[in-house]
Amino acid sequence: MSVENIASRERAPFRSQDTRLEPIAAKVMAGERLDLADGLTLYGTSDVLAVGWLANHVRERMHGDITYFNVNRHINPTNVCVAACKLCAFGRKKGDPAGYTMALEEAWQTAASGYSEAVTEFHIVGGLHPDLPLEYFLDLVSGLKQRFPKVHVKAFTMVEVAYLARRAKLSIEQTLIKLREAGVDSMPGGGAEIFSARVRSIICDHKIDGEEWLDTARMAHKLGFRSNATMLYGHIENDEDRVDHLLKLRAVQDDTGGFQTFIPLAFHPENTPLDHLPVTTGLTDIRQIAVSRLMLDNFAHIKAYWQMMTPKIAQIALRFGADDLDGTVIEEKIYHDAGATTPQGMTRKELCRLITEAGRIPVERDTLYNPVTRTEDSFVVAV
- Contact between 89 and ligand V47 by CB under 6 A: the answer reads yes
* Per-residue x/- track, 14-53, ligand V47 (CB under 6 A): ----------------------------------------
Note whether 326 binds ligand V47 by CB under 6 A: yes
Q: Which is nearer to ligand V47, 175 or 260 (CB)?
A: 260
217 or 291: whose CB is closer to ligand V47? 217
CB of 52 or CB of 189, closer to ligand V47: 189
What string marks each residue from 137 to 176 as x (binds ligand V47 by CB under 6 A) or -? --------------------x-------------------
Look at strands 226-233 and 259-266 and give their pairing.
parallel
Fill in the per-residue mask, 202 to 241: x = in contact with ligand V47 (CB under 6 A), - = not in contact. --------------------------x-x-x---------
Establish if 315 lies at the interface with ligand V47 (CB under 6 A).
no
In contact, 298 and 364? CB cutoff 8 Å: no
- Can you list the alpha helix ranges (DSSP code H) found in 155-237? 158-168, 172-182, 197-203, 210-222
What are the helix (H) ranges across the chain? 3-10, 21-29, 36-44, 48-63, 104-112, 134-147, 158-168, 172-182, 197-203, 210-222, 239-256, 282-295, 306-309, 311-317, 334-337, 348-357
Question: For 155, phi and psi rounded to 5 degrees?
Answer: -140, 140
Q: Which amino acid is at 49?
A: L
280 part of the interface to ligand V47, by CB under 6 A:
no
* Residue 339 falls in which region: left (phi positive, over 0), alpha (psi -120 to 50) or beta: left
The site for ligand V47, by CB under 6 A, has a size of 23
In the chain, the amino acid numbered 134 is L
Contact between 120 and 152 (Cβ < 8 Å): yes
φ/ψ (deg, to 5) at 210: -60, -40
**Residue 358 makes contact with ligand V47 by CB under 6 A:** no
Quick note: the x/- pattern for ligand V47 over 93-132, rule CB under 6 A, is --------------------------------x-------
Residues that bind ligand V47 in the complex, under the rule CB under 6 A: 87-90, 125, 157, 188-191, 193, 228, 230, 232, 263, 265, 267-268, 272, 305, 326, 334, 338
